[in-house]
Amino acid sequence: MLPRKIYIAMLGGYALGIVTAMLSAGWGLSNTNISPKKFNNNHEKRSGMRHLVNPLLDCPAWSSSNSQIFLYRPLRKNIETMIANATKEGKILEASVYFRDLNNGPWFGINEDAPVRLGSLLKVPLVMGYLKAAETRASLLSVRLALNDPSQLKLYDVQGIKSEKKLEVGKTYTIEELLKRSIIFSDNVAAALLEKYDDHRALLQIASETDIPVRVGVPPWRPITLNEYAGFFRILYNSSFLNRENSNRLLSWLTRTTFREGLVGGVTEGVIVAHKFGEALADDKSTLNFTDCGIVYAPNFPYLVCISVRGKQELDLVSAIKKVSSLLYKFATSQDRF
């Protein structure tokens, strides 16, 4: 057994040697030009694209700090500058961004741990919960629900981005149709019928199984952050909560969302984007939160992005999201990305 002081000295020398070798190889924190190919051995292992999902088989221990320093520092700086300019001009008051490379796993965030007001974003976990239940109860999607209460139509009035199609009083709809309407048209009345029918069990189940908050006052007893909400889209892409059929089903509905500004407005026309937006009054009750979150299937580089902004004018908020989305898409499709 080596004496304690000698042992500690040897460990210190060994650690110093590793750091020196890393610095001499170009791994210094001041070097922002290091090629992402340095991380090729850390690629995630996936079973291959199956329509809109790519199930994860193995995930290496990525260092988020390395991914930020060496891969995305210039991109993050550009986004921070854009946000600062929009804030200075009074277009927005604050913003949060979460970005993740779905090929290899590195990510970065800007204020991504700030709480987010869900609004219509809540419809994604609601639908996920129903589709999960349908995996063991196939007849569930064929159950018909009736809209009998005319007062429920008032739920359409609170939407800034209006539903292009509306339910009619006195008619019945299958649960599958209500699920689709909740996503594609962001239909508030359809979502309300679904929540009432199962007494919120679908939402409570997914919150319990994923530990992602969905509603204040229920487990896991904390406000949801932008980073956490992005987890729903990671789960769908990885097909790790729903089976592949239902993961693809929901992602397919999300690609048909009728709101085509925000994230979609920032990418080349024709590029597939599976996304959901949400709008809600901020805590101060005088400003608006607008969030757009989803997967952009850029050629050979699918990525997950969630952008949340707060301000006074909805058009300014949507414009800011579009600008951030454009910066991300240009990076994803640039020839010098690698």
Question: pTM of whole model > 0.75?
Answer: yes
**For residue 310, what are the β-bridge partners?**
94, 289
Residues of the domain holding 99: 48-117+224-338
Listed residue (189, 72, 203, 181) closest to 132, CA to CA: 203
Least trusted range by pLDDT, from 140-154, 214-228, 287-301 = 214-228
Contact 296/305 with Cβ under 8 angstroms? yes
Same domain, 166 and 283: no
With a cut of 70, say whether residue 24 has pLDDT above it: no
Which of residues 36 and 222 earns the better pLDDT score?
A: 222
Same domain, 236 and 303: yes
Same domain, 171 and 287: no
Span 18-30, mean pLDDT? 35
> Residue 141 sits in a domain of what CATH number?
3.40.710.10
How far is Cα 79 from Cα 88, in angstroms, rounded to an integer? Answer: 14
Please tell me the total count of domains within the chain: 2
Same domain, 147 and 245: no
Which residue, 187, 222, 257, sits at the end of a domain? 222
Same domain, 292 and 238: yes
Structure tokens at 220: 């896991």
Residue 161: its pLDDT value, please?
85
Domain-embedded: residue 163: yes
Which residue, 176, 206, 222, sits at the end of a domain? 222
Domain-embedded: residue 126: yes
Same domain, 152 and 295: no
Question: CA 100, 106, 109, 115: dihedral to nearest 10 degrees?
Answer: 70
Same domain, 228 and 290: yes
- Going from the C-alpha of 71 to that of each of 74, 107, 142, 263, the distances in angstroms are 8, 9, 47, 22
Domain-embedded: residue 3: no
Same domain, 319 and 236: yes
Same domain, 113 and 228: yes
Domain-embedded: residue 22: no
Domain-embedded: residue 73: yes
Structure tokens at 234: 């990671």
Give the pLDDT confidence of 256-271 residue by residue, as tens digits: 999 999 999 999 999 9
Same domain, 111 and 232: yes
With a cut of 60, say whether residue 61 has pLDDT above it: no
With a cut of 80, say whether residue 4 has pLDDT above it: no
Same domain, 241 and 102: yes
How far is Cα 53 from Cα 188, in angstroms, rounded to an integer? Answer: 27
